[in-house]
Each structure stands twice: as C-alpha cells, then as structure tokens.
Amino acid sequence: MAYMVSYARICPDNSKYVQFNPLNLHPIDGLKVLLEQQIFADYLLYTSRTVAADSILQKNREFFNCLPSRINEGDYGPAANLYAEGLELYNRGVVESITNGVGPAVARTLYNIFSLDSGAKYINGEYVSSINSTFLTEYLAWRFGIVVDPNKQGDTELHYSELYVPRTELVLNRDPAKNRHDNDNWLTVINLEPHKCDGFKLVTINQDSYPTLFGLIGRLNLNSLHVDDLIPILAGFSLDHVRYGMTDLPNNAGFGVEDVCFDLVTERCYSNSAGLSYVSGLTEFINMLKKMYVEQRIQGVEDLALFGELLARCGETADLVNYFTKPIAEITASEALSFRKSVYADLVADRFYSGMEAVDDIGSTTDDNGQDASGAGDTQSDTQPADQNEGADKTEAPAEDANATDQPGEDKEEMKKGKELHRPTIDPEKMLLEMASTSETLSDYIFRETVSKRIDNVLKNPPENARPNDLMMLKRWRSSWLWLTSISCLRDFLTRLSLRLSNP
C-alpha cells in the first residue's frame, strides 16, 4: 500500500472530501504544497522508514514540471522573488539544499514562503498547504539542529509542541465536475495527526548524523503520559509492517520497536511470523525512556503486564518477562534477580521495594539510640526503678512485685516514669516494632480479632485501588506480627497502608 500513497498532510479539521491537484491552485499555493510534500516525505522516511516517501516525491515531481517558471513581479512584488527561490529550492531538493548549502538561510526561505498569503480564494475544496510553524520548527531542530524561527530566537524549548503521528487513510479525491456518488477517484493519504505535548527541546544535544524516531520523541516533554502510553503512539509509526518479512527497508532493515508495538496493539504477529531475530532501535528506545524518566519528562510504567508483553515480543528472557507479568506472590527469586540486573531497573520501580523495606525494619531490633525495638529495652527500663530502690534485689521476679502489698501505687508510678524517660526517638519515615505486653485487656484482644477478620476480607476480595505491596504486607502481618506486636504498633502499621481497615 505504501507505493500507492498519493500525498501526506497534517490531519485537517474540515471535511475529508478534498481535491488534491496543485495545478488547480495559484502558482504560489501550488509551490507551497510541493515544498511541504518534500518535507513530509523526509519526515516519514526517518520516523517510519517507509517507502511511501518515494511514492510521494515521484507523484509530486509530475506536478512540479507543470508549474510556471516565473510569475510577474509587478503583480506580486516580493512574492515573485520568493517564488523563484522556492522553485530552485524544490528542484535541488529541500533536504539536499539544507545539508549541502547554508542551512539557516534555506530554513529562513522556507519560513518566508510558507508565511505568504494564499494567492486566491478557493470554493471547491482544493487542498492547500497544511504545514504549520510548529511542525516546521520541530522538524528543522530535530532533523538539522537549526532554529531560525524569529519567534523562537534565544529559546531553548518550544513550549507549545505537538508530535505528528502518521496514519494511512483512504479518501475520495473531490472532482467538481462529477457528482460525489459518481466519483470513484480514491486516494491513499497519510494523515499526520498532531498529539499535544508539554514542550520540545530546541537546543542541539549530541546531534546525530542520522536522526531517528526516538531522537525526535526524546526531545518532547510527555510528563502527562506513562511509559506504556507510548505503545499505541509508536504503533502509528509502523506503516510498512506487512512488507518487513519480504523486502529490506531503506536505511535500517529489520523490525523496529514501532513494528512490535503495532503487533501488540492490533494483536497481530507480523514481526514474529517472519522470524524475529532482533529488534532494531530497542537499546536506543530504552535509553531514551531512562533519560526522559530521570528528567521527569515522562512517568514510569503503569501497566506492568502490557510492558512485559512488549518485552516478550522484543525477545527478552522469560525470567525478565515473568517479573512484569506474574502476580507479585508468584515471582521467583531468579526472576526478581533478572530484573534487578537488567537495564529496566532504572526505569521501573522494584515491585518488592515496599516489602523489602518492611522486612529490613523487621530485621532491625534496635533504634537509632541503641534501644531494643523489640521491647527488651522497655523490659530493662521497667526494672531500673526497682534496681534503684533501697536494698531492692536485682533478681526479684516481676510476679513478686505484682503481688507485693507495700506501696503498690508508688511502684506503678516509678515504672511509668522509667518508661517515659527511656522512650526511644521515633522516626516518622521508619516503623518502630514494639512487642505486645503480657497484661493486655479484653478490648485489645477484640481489636486484634477485628483487624484479623478485616484483613481476611480484603485479601479474599481486594479493592480495585489495592496495591500489591499492601496486600503482601497485610498477609505477612496477619500470619506473623498481628499477635506479637503491641496495639500502638499495629495502629501505626495500619496508618501506613493505602487501604482503610479500621477506625483508630
């Protein structure tokens, strides 16, 4: 189908029933259409690696040969000179002129030509140039490292930006001489659909001699999107996916990440059926994501299963794929280790992070002041008031203290003061484990039993907003720590969860 593409355009907002015939336009408007088609063809070649670019250039060369060689300067003034420059520019090639000549000067000429007012008014749905300043600025900065838009001088970022995603469409070419129902002139068109972004880097950073799709996307600010949101966007850049198994592509043969994304979105297997041996651009794709993630220009992975399926189609190992696709309770140690050693560890948060942090807190039995967090420090502090008592025996059992009749109120007051004096410092970022007291009341037991039942209900019917780490920790606490820690420690644990189990 790529060989049959007639032209490309930035997706219009008006009717699809338009007439593409540059020869029916004023010469200035016809020249603008032909110049933009050269630019669109180059954009498609380097982002989609499609042979449709050659088809577009071939068809438009026929129109160019029919344009007048000059227009009357007396009627059009400075526009006549721009028209002559535009003819020469098209004849030499826009890309070749920028590459081999003075790039900024050629770019300024393009801005001036596309800024010219239309040479006539059209009423029959004639297609006129659809290129805009945003596309031209982004294209020149990405493709050649040139920024000459007078409105962008000195700026390092284009604050209003768009990513233009290609999509093929079959449209009916309008013929004013025929009834619409009698018209059978269907054309294959590539629409460049704009997706609004939050910024575009204009500065030249490690400009490559061979610009790529990921070099373009890497300049964008996509902080409103997650990594997995790029999958349907990249799928749009796969235009020649059916041909990959039969024909070498220009510039970079083989399957690309965008082709795998197309298979994933459409549930096809074009790439795998042709014998997927490698995916070109995968390393560049991951490096781009990591850089954007560090610079907070894109959010992390939200749909782990979808991202894992993408990695599986890209030929990653089964252990790494299982880490993303399996439920967290079924992930093995080898699968977790495979992820932590992979390049994706800097892009995706470790699924076990919260659980491992809780285990570290459990494994530590002392706080920052050297006190025993498991309650041993409190036991020692409980005995200190008795040790300081006149002639008190250090080996005296607590049970004998409990049965003592001499000044019971004073003993309890001394023990209370000792606990307050030796209370450890609490770090709000960490959890202090305190063992349960041997003299708990019936209400404490009822509270634990209620929490246990509610945890069972949550584990059997998890809410939609439940995070896997919270469910894992609830399961561990119900089986181990629920009956060992104090009530205050249990309440502290419940406040750290995103799920509400009880009313404190």
The 10s digit of each residue's pLDDT in 20-55 is: 999 889 999 999 999 999 999 999 999 988 888 888
Closest CA to 451 of 406, 422, 492, 412: 492
Task: Tell whether the model's pLDDT for residue 246 goes beyond 50.
Answer: no
Which two tokens mark 393? 């025996």
Average pLDDT over residues 252-278: 74
pLDDT at 370: 43
d(CA 269, CA 364): 51
Range in 158-167, 448-457, 495-504 the model is least confident about = 495-504
d(CA 234, CA 8): 18
Position 149: which residue type?
D
Both 256 and 136 in a single domain?
A: no
Helices (H) and strands (E) in the chain, counts: 22, 9
pLDDT at 478: 80
| Number of other residues whose CB lies within 10 A of the CB of residue 296 | 9
> Is residue 139 a contact partner of residue 162, using CB atoms and an 8 Å limit?
no
Q: Residue 81 domain-assigned?
A: yes
Both 139 and 182 in a single domain?
A: yes
d(CA 390, CA 372): 27
Q: Residue 202 domain-assigned?
A: no
Strands 186-197 and 279-280: unpaired
pLDDT at 403: 44
Closest CA to 473 of 465, 482, 464: 482
Looking at the whole model, is its pTM more than 0.85? no
Q: Residue 63 domain-assigned?
A: yes
pLDDT at 396: 42
DSSP state of 16: S
Domain housing 138? 2-194
d(CA 51, CA 240): 8
pLDDT at 47: 93
pLDDT at 347: 85
pLDDT at 204: 65
Both 122 and 233 in a single domain?
A: no
pLDDT at 369: 46
149-202 pLDDT tens trace: 656 556 788 888 999 999 998 888 998 888 888 888 899 999 999 999 999 998
Q: Which residues contact 65 (CB under 8 A, 6 or more apart)?
A: none
Q: Which residue has the tokens 């300049």?
A: 219
**Dihedral sign, Cα of residue 204, residue 210, residue 213, residue 215:** negative
Which two tokens mark 298? 């894109």
Q: Residue 205 domain-assigned?
A: no
d(CA 214, CA 234): 10
86-127 pLDDT tens trace: 999 999 999 999 988 778 899 999 999 999 988 788 888 899
Both 183 and 45 in a single domain?
A: yes
Both 72 and 120 in a single domain?
A: yes
Both 418 and 442 in a single domain?
A: no
> Across the chain, what does the average pLDDT equal?
78
Q: Which residue has the tokens 């959010």?
A: 299
Q: Residue 216 domain-assigned?
A: no
Q: Residue 41 domain-assigned?
A: yes
pLDDT at 247: 45
**Which of these three, 147, 176, 194, is where a domain ends?**
194
345-400 pLDDT tens trace: 888 888 876 444 444 444 444 444 444 444 444 444 444 444 444 444 444 444 44
d(CA 347, CA 301): 8
Q: Residue 210 domain-assigned?
A: no
Both 134 and 244 in a single domain?
A: no
Closest CA to 43 of 171, 136, 170, 114: 136
pLDDT at 503: 46
Closest CA to 194 of 130, 240, 151: 130
Backbone φ, ψ for residue 188 (5° rounding): -90, 125
More confident residue, 477 or 500: 477
Both 454 and 499 in a single domain?
A: yes
Q: Residue 213 domain-assigned?
A: no
Closest CA to 475 of 496, 445, 452: 452
SS3 174: coil
Both 414 and 462 in a single domain?
A: no
Surface-to-core class of residue 156, CB atoms within 10 Å of its CB (0-12 exposed, 13-18 middle, 19+ buried):
exposed
Q: Could you report how far apart the first and last alpha carbons of the chain are, in Å?
A: 66
> Is residue 447 a contact partner of residue 487, using CB atoms and an 8 Å limit?
yes
Which two tokens mark 345? 């560890």
> Which residues are registered as beta bridge partners of 157?
201
Average pLDDT over residues 258-283: 77
Both 280 and 139 in a single domain?
A: no
C-alpha dist (Å) from residue 320 to 127, 181, 316, 337, 475: 50, 56, 7, 9, 25
Share of the chain above pLDDT 90, in %: 32
Both 189 and 244 in a single domain?
A: no
Which two tokens mark 157? 């970022």
C-alpha dist (Å) from residue 399 to 390, 394, 486: 19, 13, 21
pLDDT at 15: 61
pLDDT at 46: 92
Q: Which residues contact 69 (CB under 8 A, 6 or more apart)?
A: 87
Both 400 and 440 in a single domain?
A: no
Domain count, the chain: 4
Task: Tell whether the model's pLDDT for residue 451 goes beyond 70.
Answer: yes
pLDDT at 78: 79
**Which of these three, 194, 213, 236, is where a domain ends?**
194
Surface-to-core class of residue 177, CB atoms within 10 Å of its CB (0-12 exposed, 13-18 middle, 19+ buried):
exposed
Q: pLDDT class for 234, splitting at 50, 70, 90? A: very high
**Which of these three, 423, 445, 460, is where a domain ends?**
423
Inter-axis angle of helices 442-460 and 487-495, to 10 degrees? 30
